[in-house]
Structure 1
Amino acid sequence: MAHTVEAHENACVPKRGEPFRILEMPFSKAENIVDAAIVDGKVIVDKDILGDEQVLYDWPAVYVLDNGKKAYVGQTTNFTRRMGDHGRNDEKRGFTRANLITHPEFNQSVIIDYEHKLISLMAADGKYELTNKNNGWDECDFFSRSIYDEMFEDLWEELRGIKLVDKTIAEIENSEVFKYSPYKELNLDQKVALEKILSAVLDAQKTNRALCEPIVVDGKPGTGKTILALFLLKMLKDRAADKDDELFGKRIFLVEPISSIRKTVKEAVGVIPGIRKKDIIGPYDLVKLEYGLTTDGHPGIDICIVDESHRLKRFKNLGQQNSNYMQKCALLGMEAATTTQVDWVLKTCKLPIFLYDSRQSVLPSDVEHHTFSDRLGDSFEHPIMLDKQMRVKGGNRYLDYIEDILKEKDPIIQEFPEYELCLHKSFASFNESFVEHLEYAELTRMVAGYGWKWNSRDDDSRAKTDIHIDGIDKRWNSMTENWVGEGQEDEFYANEVGCIHSVQGYDLSYAYVIFGPEICYDKQRQAIVIDQVRYFDKNGKRGSTPEDVDAFIRNIYYVLLTRGIEGTHVYVYDAALRKYLSRYMDVVD
């Protein structure tokens, strides 16, 4: 029978003061070690030299191979044997240098963790193009992990010192390339989802059916749907490039319906081997001969991963895209009025994988929940679930709390010790706090509901403003594509106010959310109400019932209030609504 053994109070913990050993050597010599020691950083082949050979033959280590342009990161408990293996591998023969990294307190769990950290950070650092695949990445805990995490920060600075990497960890972690990197450790939820998806993918390859049962992954904001999508894309693309794999030659694409996210992801994966920018496509690309459209009517894409699928469109309020939408439907032999982009996916892809969250549908043009259910059937009704919160430090409890507040369920007042949630009495206080947070957390952004006209839309002078509150003037986002990222390069953009279309799908350090004049509190009815006259997103309300617009606007605020990683600060334009929300949030002057 298994039983628990408690660690002794004097159990060995790593000593942070112990130095790392980083040994650099030509790869041509490292691969041919027979008996050697490391002396002054050089490999000396001499079986009579003793003292340091343990780090070569019998000690946990991580290593980096490089040739000045490309790099490969690995871990081993026998460096000599591992270099011999690499020396016989055609893919590794192009490397010219081996960098061995070891420490007296290393163990197997630590080197696996450090390998993953190095791959994830070096891929986004950009000094080298990494050649690693991303299979086998599982999140796990181990003894004294927090201390080893601190030690890794010291190691990274040492690697910067020897010019093996360039940027600081903080710089990398604030970059879009890092946030959208497929080199990530998966949590248990994501791992289970990945295994279910891979099983379904492999089963589908054994059938001769033109279309396979769709796969649906459902998760709230911040549960890692996009991370899973990119991880899956990288893994499947690597397998499709392997002549010995059953997925060899399969055509695999990622559909990103939100144009701003699509542009950001394209740029992020541009440095990832095995993924091309043109592997990231929009829904309209599905109906092109180079992608999903074929002359014989059969699907042109084998596996299609659809991220943010709740933002796929139907034929309603499409504005300038109306004509294009009808043309695409005609090419597929479908009537625009009864066709959605879900139908496009099902027509052009043999095996579609939808990542979905009904709580993030924010426009009348978005495909309705019941249509997903009708088209996808049992797969939609019984999806693969992602539950673990990865973005908001307030966790799922915070997301549920926000949802209950917006739906007026009068939730029990909650506190979030690890998360800043507060309501500002004045806009001056709100704005001052925003400026302070932006100083040290550069992904802090101010966002709002569409309660003001976009007068500055065509203003290139940067002089016009749109939002005027208590003598303070603000301007709407000058762009929708990559507005969050552009704010890291230009503080002008960082000080603008983003609308829903500029921030959906993005992570923010701190979200400063303005409840605009379109959402109010009716004291007589004792209810939150929507003033459609003061809601200025024309495509967000044209042809919709008041009930639908009400639901869309509440969803918009749900999305805005779930962007912040570290915290959410709130200002409410309507005084009555401000007083109502003060029941549920700490109020600051």
Structure 2
Amino acid sequence: MSNKFITKEFSIEKGTGKLSPIRGEHLRLRDKQALEKNNAIYIYLGPKNVYVGQTKHFFSRHEQHVQESNHRYINGSYTKVIVAFGILINQLSLDDIEKKLITYITADYEDDRNMTVNNGTSGNESPAYQNQDEVLTDFINPFWKELFSKGYVLKKNLAAVKESILFKYSPFTSLSEEKNNIINEIIRQPQNYIVSGLAGTGKTVVLTNLAARLSQSYPNKRIAVVVKTNWVKSAQKIFQAYSVKNIDVFTAYKLIKSGEQYDYVLVDEAHRLRRYYSKGNHVTQDIFNKDENQNELKLLGKLNPCFILFYDPAQTIRPSDIPKKDYNTFLTDNEFKELKLTKEYRVNINELNKTYTSDDFMTGIQEFLQIDSSNAKFDHNIFQSYLTNPDAYFGVVNSIHELFDYLDDCENYEPATQNRVMAGYTREWASHQKKNRDRNDVYDWVEGNYHWKWNSDSENWLMKKNSRIEIGSIHAVQGIDLNYAGVIISTDISIDNTGKIIGIPENYKDRNGQYKSDDYSKEGFSNFIKNIYYVLLTRGIDGVRVYFEDKKMQQYFYDFMGINKEVQ
């Protein structure tokens, strides 16, 4: 027993709901008094159901549950309950603890389709309070271990739960003041909004939380959430797991095809909405009717919604993406208000005695890729630290297989993390061709005796069985967070004799990313390639390693970052 809390566990008699101490434990008078009048957190568990609650009078609250019309507390849906009370469980902490446990348990049961978390909501809003960190370390963490030992949860390690997509993108996670202010303004003042922010500023987390808050505030309104194909199943899973109602998840194409009217349309990765573009085999072509002025933004606008777009112009990666000038015209004509996310949260630099921040990394990547020509200042040490520190956030390696070795090493220390290798699109997707899909001897990437396939699928690739031993393209990972990332900067990008970064079109193999012959722009193509690497290099939360296939590009990187090395 921890000296910061006490737990009591009871079995529940079917038919009556009567509580009996498990294992014949004798309840002291003080136990009975505490369970009748103390603040408490409780969790009911059955073969297919779990419920998290809070109360000031557990015994009385249990009797109320027994009288509920759903009969779960007497029909065998719940067979036992654990109750916790103590000095850290008080009026200030109850909402926070309940909210966290609902989120953790929902994420814990992510892969158990037979288990239902019966909480209709995520719990009450919880402001910050004194001793909040102590509640996490001295109650929630040890309580979770007890829950595991007694069969209430599946994962022993709470850190593993926190790597789940259901946790990372929970629509009820605690948000920063900046994010909460954006959500509150959109709810209070319905109109068209564009929420802009760089990679890692939390656009998708704001979207899931906004959708949930809109659902709660306006239960009779219809809400559509638009995501890229690689995120449809994940988004559906998130909203279903947390019992968020009146929300439908689509790709832009499928929502337009449906013709359904919605009160709110929230668009994630809105920079990837498409226009009519005759080059490439796009499934969207039929909705445009060969109208060169048509695009998905305009067609979604015809559904007459309150429109909320989540946008980063540095993440457009194909000629078929709507050009920025067309975007700006639409935003002006439809009176969009811009709200900016400025805080960068994705990058977690866990190094001793560091002098740099995540902002230094993001700025350095943009300056290196010549995406931002403002010559912004940043601390170059973040890109040099790996030369003396094997635990540095960033580093350069000498081969593709070393990227996989890096991820293996990270997983030895942190087994629960999500880690992948990604690359620029410089290899044909031969393994995906129909004639090769069932063959084990067709590979897209070869390095000596090593070989790998491209991502087997772009949809929900991170969750695919073999994704850890594959190499992901931009289309499999855009909008996805990883813990540790390996990035192959390939031969579709180089540096010219004037020191300008350029795209190399002959080495770029994305068939749907090609320009029409009469529309080709060297600068435009180079911008797309730079944006692709900006996305790939900003996926890793806890660490990134890079391998350069183009040695001129590698030397340019060394020189730019002040690394005194010659590429061999």
Q: What's the TM-score once normalised by structure 2's chain length?
A: 0.82
- Aligned match for 1:574, one of 533, 541, 550: 550
1:140 corresponding residue in structure 2: 128
2:332 corresponding residue in structure 1: 377
1:414/1:105 Cα in 2 relative to 1: closer, same or farther (>3 Å)? same
Matches for 1:230-379 after TM superposition, within 5 Å: 230-239=208-217, 247-256=218-227, 258-275=228-245, 279-289=248-258, 292=260, 300-317=261-278, 319-321=280-282, 324-326=284-286, 328-329=287-288, 336-377=291-332
CA distance in 1, matches of 2:15, 2:562: 64
2:112 corresponding residue in structure 1: none
CA contact (8 A) 2:316 2:531 kept: yes
CA contact (8 A) 1:30 1:80 kept: no
2:487 corresponding residue in structure 1: 513
- Aligned match for 1:390, one of 345, 351, 368: 345
CA contact (8 A) 2:97 2:140 kept: yes
| More deviation, 260-269/374-383 | 374-383
1:373/1:92 Cα in 2 relative to 1: closer, same or farther (>3 Å)? farther
Q: Displacement, 1:275?
A: 4.1
Give, as a single letter, the amino acid of the residue that structure 2 aligns with 1:63: Y
Q: What SS class does the counterpart of residue 264 from structure 1 fall into?
A: helix
Q: Displacement, 1:216?
A: 1.8
CA contact (8 A) 2:7 2:82 kept: no
Give, as a single letter, the amino acid of the residue that structure 2 aligns with 1:175: S
Residue 52 in structure 1 maps to residue 26 in structure 2? no
Residue 155 in structure 1 maps to residue 143 in structure 2? yes
Deviations 1:549-589 (A, max 9, x none): 11111110110011001011111111121122124287999
Q: What SS class does the counterpart of residue 50 from structure 2 fall into?
A: strand
1:428/1:236 Cα in 2 relative to 1: closer, same or farther (>3 Å)? closer
| More deviation, 569-578/168-177 | 168-177
CA contact (8 A) 1:172 1:178 kept: yes
Q: What SS class does the counterpart of residue 383 from structure 1 fall into?
A: strand
- Aligned match for 1:414, one of 380, 394, 399: 380
1:401 corresponding residue in structure 2: 364
| More deviation, 509-518/264-273 | 264-273
Q: Displacement, 1:24?
A: 2.8
- Aligned match for 2:48, one of 62, 69, 82: 69
Q: Displacement, 1:43?
A: 10
Matches for 1:101-250 after TM superposition, within 5 Å: 101-126=84-109, 127-134=115-122, 136-138=124-126, 140=128, 142-143=130-131, 145=133, 148-149=136-137, 151-168=139-156, 169-201=158-190, 213-239=191-217, 247-250=218-221
Give, as a single letter, the amino acid of the residue that structure 2 aligns with 1:484: L
Give, as a single letter, the amino acid of the residue that structure 1 aligns with 2:221: K
Give, as a single letter, the amino acid of the residue that structure 1 aligns with 2:508: Y
CA distance in 2, matches of 1:65, 1:27: 13
1:482/1:59 Cα in 2 relative to 1: closer, same or farther (>3 Å)? same
1:412/1:160 Cα in 2 relative to 1: closer, same or farther (>3 Å)? closer
CA distance in 2, matches of 1:369, 1:22: 60
CA distance in 2, matches of 1:146, 1:22: 22
Give, as a single letter, the amino acid of the residue that structure 1 aligns with 2:102: I
CA distance in 1, matches of 2:331, 2:376: 34
| More deviation, 425-434/191-200 | 425-434
1:43/1:284 Cα in 2 relative to 1: closer, same or farther (>3 Å)? farther
Q: Displacement, 1:507?
A: 0.9
1:498 corresponding residue in structure 2: 472
- Aligned match for 2:511, one of 513, 538, 541: 538
Deviations 1:176-226 (A, max 9, x none): 33334323222222211111111124xxxxxxxxxxx31221222222222
CA distance in 2, matches of 1:316, 1:88: 61
CA distance in 2, matches of 1:137, 1:512: 38
CA distance in 2, matches of 1:176, 1:56: 35
CA contact (8 A) 1:286 1:344 kept: no
CA distance in 1, matches of 2:330, 2:132: 49
Q: What SS class does the counterpart of residue 115 from structure 1 fall into?
A: helix
1:480 corresponding residue in structure 2: 458
Give, as a single letter, the amino acid of the residue that structure 2 aligns with 1:186: L
Q: What SS class does the counterpart of residue 266 from structure 2 fall into?
A: strand
Q: What SS class does the counterpart of residue 432 from structure 2 fall into?
A: coil
CA distance in 1, matches of 2:154, 2:167: 14
Q: Displacement, 1:442?
A: 4.7
Deviations 1:357-392 (A, max 9, x none): 112111111112222221122887741222233322
CA contact (8 A) 2:102 2:122 kept: no
CA contact (8 A) 1:31 1:86 kept: no
CA distance in 2, matches of 1:148, 1:16: 13
- Aligned match for 1:23, one of 3, 9, 25: 9
CA contact (8 A) 1:423 1:582 kept: no
- Aligned match for 1:548, one of 520, 524, 542: 524
1:264/1:464 Cα in 2 relative to 1: closer, same or farther (>3 Å)? same
> What 5-or-longer segments of structure 2 have no aligned partner?
110-114, 350-357, 386-390
| More deviation, 146-155/260-269 | 146-155
CA distance in 2, matches of 1:338, 1:546: 23
CA contact (8 A) 2:280 2:511 kept: no
Q: What SS class does the counterpart of residue 108 from structure 1 fall into?
A: coil
Deviations 1:10-35 (A, max 9, x none): xxxxx9654541333649999999xx
Q: Over aligned residues, Cα RMSD in angstroms? A: 3.5
Give, as a single letter, the amino acid of the residue that structure 1 aligns with 2:468: A
Q: Displacement, 1:53?
A: 4.1
Q: Displacement, 1:156?
A: 0.8
| More deviation, 340-349/109-118 | 109-118
CA contact (8 A) 1:446 1:513 kept: yes
Q: What SS class does the counterpart of residue 546 from structure 2 fall into?
A: strand
1:105/1:237 Cα in 2 relative to 1: closer, same or farther (>3 Å)? closer
CA distance in 2, matches of 1:74, 1:103: 16
Q: What SS class does the counterpart of residue 181 from structure 1 fall into?
A: coil
Deviations 1:271-296 (A, max 9, x none): 332448x811111222345x52xxxx
1:26/1:379 Cα in 2 relative to 1: closer, same or farther (>3 Å)? farther
Q: Displacement, 1:435?
A: 3.2
| More deviation, 562-571/367-376 | 367-376
- Aligned match for 2:82, one of 55, 74, 99: 99
